Amino acid sequence: MEGGPTLIFDAVCHPAILEEAVRIAAPAGRIGVLGFSSTPSAIPQQELTKKELTLYASRLNCAMFPTVIDWIAKGLVNPGKIVTHHVGFRDVADAFALAERNPRDCCKVLLDFGQGG
């Protein structure tokens, strides 16, 4: 993508991931942080301001992971239902474009590493 990605999600929450996201994000890009890490990141504030980046943080889970994992194990929830599109991993740019252009039609775009080899 020319100028870098306009939307980045960090669900890993390793300090280096957030630092990399700030480095590669396009000007006026958005970064969503979804994990928990007590380790500080070395991000100069100037990098956020210079690119006019927006940083969003969400704790998302409300301590529901064990409950949801149990529901999946019991067959009460089918996580496959949230996958709305399958895209070969070599077409990752198309996957991002699809998700960005069609937010109402895309819940989860799955990169398929078994096809498109």
Exposed/middle/buried for residue 31 (C-beta within 10 Å: 0-12, 13-18, 19+): buried
In tens, the pLDDT along 13-46 reads 788 889 999 999 999 999 998 877 788 888 989 9
Domains and CATH numbers, the chain: 1-60 (3.40.50.720), 62-117 (no CATH)
pLDDT digits (tens, 9 = 90+) for 37-96: 788 888 989 999 999 999 988 876 677 778 888 999 999 988 888 889 999 989 989 998
Give the amino acid at 5: P
